[in-house]
Amino acid sequence: MQKTDLILLKYGEIALKGLNRPKFEQKLIDNINSTLAPLGKFSVKKAQSTIYVEALDENIDMTETIERLKKVFGIVNICPAARCVKGMDSIKETAAKCVLGMDYDGKSFKVETKREDKRFPLKSPEISREVGGAVLRAVSKAGGNIRVDVHDPDILVQVEIRDDAYIVADVIRGAGGMPVGSGGRAALLLSGGIDSPVAGWMIAKRGVKLDAVYFHSPPYTSERAKDKVVDLAKILSPYTRGMRLYVVPFTDIQLDIIDNCPKNFLTIIMRRIMMRIAEKIAVSNGDLGLVTGESIGQVASQTMEALYCTNSVVNMPVYRPCIGMDKEEITSISKKIGAYETSIQPYEDCCTIFVPKHPKTKPRLNDIIEAEKCLTDIEGMIQKAIDESEIINIK
C-alpha cells in the first residue's frame, strides 16, 4: 500500500444540518482530536465538508490512527491519501502506485479530480483523463488487467489539487452516525450480556453521551462478573468518548424482594427497582433518558405485558434500540463492535441467579404494585444503594 500522508474524512448527516452545522462539525473535530491525542500531534482541519487529518509528528502509526477513527461516530468515510508534488508527472506516478498497491486485477476504475487551486494549468477533466491513462499503462506494464468504468467503478481514484496534490484510492467505511456529545445524555443499564452493550452503542451512534449503571449483587455475583461489565464499558468507550460507570450494590434489595414478594413476580419487581434507581442516577447527571437492551419476547421479563409493568415505574423516556431485533441481529452488531467475546463469558449476572422457576409472562400492573407494598422501606433502600454506588471513570 502507498504511504498515508493525510487522511480525508467525509461526514454524512452532519452535512445536511442547517444553521447548527458548525456546532456538529466542531464537536466532531473535538472528538477526533481527543481520540488521536494519545498517538501524537495532529492537525485536524475542515474544508468543504471534508476533515483533513495530518500527522505532525514523525513515526505516527497511521494504521492505528485509522483504527481509532473507525470508532468515531459522525465519520462516514475514511480516505487515506498520498501527498505528492503538484505536477502532472508526480501526480500520475503517485496515482498509479496507489492503484498498483490495491487489489485491482480484473476490476474497473475511474479518476475524479477536484481542482481547488484554480491556478493549476490543467482543468479537472483533463487531469482525470491523463491520470486514467497513466493508471492503465502502469497496470498493463505490471501484466495486470483493469478497465475504465465512469458509471459504477470498483475503484475510485480521487485527485485533489490544493496546496499540494493528494491522491485517494481507498475508502474505508467509518462508523457513521452523529458526533457523541451533540445529542444530549442518557443512562445505559449495562449488564454483562450481549444486548445492553449493543443498545448503548446504537444510542451513542446518534450522538448521545452515555453514563452507565450496573447492578451488582455480591456475593451472588462475583467480582469477575463486575470486571466483565467494566471490560464491556471499556470496549464501548472509544465509541462513547469515555463513560462514567455506576456500580450499584443490589444485594440487599434483591434479598428483600425474595423474602417479601411472590416468587413469580421477582424478576419484574427487580427490573422496576433497577429502573427507579437508574432514573434517579440519570436525573443527577442531567441525563434525559434511560437505555436498555430489551427486545420484545426475548425472555419472560420482556413480553409486552412485562415491559408495560417495567416501563410504568419511570417518567423518563426509555430507549430500547434492540426492541425489534432478533438475537441474531443483535449478535451480529455485538461482534462488529468487538463486544461479543466478552459478553459470552459465562459469569453469572444478578438476574440469572435470582430468576424464578415460573416467572409471570403476563404480569398485571396492579398485582405488581400490590406485591411491592410488602417491601420494607424500599425508598430508603433505593437511596442507600445510590449513596453506596461505586463510580468508575472509564477513559
Output the residue with the shortest Cβ distance to ligand ATP: 193
Question: Is residue 65 a contact point for ligand ATP (CB under 6 A)?
Answer: no
Question: Is residue 189 a contact point for ligand ATP (CB under 6 A)?
Answer: yes
Q: Which of residues 215, 239, 246, 265 is near ligand ATP by CB under 6 A? A: 215
Question: Is residue 359 a contact point for ligand ATP (CB under 6 A)?
Answer: no
Strand partners, 319: 291
Q: Which is nearer to ligand ATP, 128 or 302 (CB)?
A: 302
Please, are residues 247 and 389 in contact by the beta-carbon 8 Å criterion? yes
Question: Which residues lie closer than 8 Å to 346 by C-beta, 6 or more apart?
Answer: none
Question: Is residue 292 a contact point for ligand ATP (CB under 6 A)?
Answer: yes
Kindly list the strands in the beta sheet with 290-291, ordered across the sheet, starting from the edge strand earlier in the chain: 318-319, 290-291, 185-189, 209-216, 243-249, 390-394
Give CA torsion, residues 361, 367, 369, 374, to 10 deg.
-110
Question: Is residue 294 a contact point for ligand ATP (CB under 6 A)?
Answer: yes
Please, are residues 76 and 10 in contact by the beta-carbon 8 Å criterion? yes
Cell of 41: 500531534
Question: Is residue 166 a contact point for ligand ATP (CB under 6 A)?
Answer: no
CB of 350 to Mg ion, least distance (A): 9
Residues near Mg ion (CB under 5 A) are: 191, 193
CB of 355 to Mg ion, least distance (A): 10
Question: Is residue 193 a contact point for ligand ATP (CB under 6 A)?
Answer: yes
Residue 11 interacts with which of Mg ion, ligand ATP, none, CB < 5 to 8 Å by class: none
DSSP 75: -
Which is it for strands 290-291 and 318-319: parallel, antiparallel or unpaired? parallel
Residue 293 interacts with which of Mg ion, ligand ATP, none, CB < 5 to 8 Å by class: ligand ATP
Please, are residues 226 and 214 in contact by the beta-carbon 8 Å criterion? yes
Q: Which is nearer to ligand ATP, 138 or 322 (CB)?
A: 322
Question: Is residue 191 a contact point for ligand ATP (CB under 6 A)?
Answer: yes
Stretch that binds ligand ATP, among 38-46, 296-304, 371-379, 380-388 (CB under 6 A): 296-304
Question: Is residue 100 a contact point for ligand ATP (CB under 6 A)?
Answer: no
Query: How far from 111 is each of 15, 92, 95, 153, 254, CA to CA, in Å?
Result: 24, 11, 9, 9, 64
Distance between alpha carbon 112 and the CA centroid of its chain, in Å?
A: 31
Output the residue with the shortest Cβ distance to Mg ion: 193
Binding-residue total with ligand ATP (CB under 6 A): 21
Stretch that binds ligand ATP, among 58-66, 147-155, 174-182, 211-219 (CB under 6 A): 211-219
DSSP-assigned states of every residue in 105-154: TTEEEEEEEEE--TTSSS-HHHHHHHHHHHHHHHHHHTT--EEE-SSS-S
List contacts with ligand ATP (CB under 6 A). 189-191, 193-196, 213-215, 274, 292-294, 298-299, 301-302, 349-351
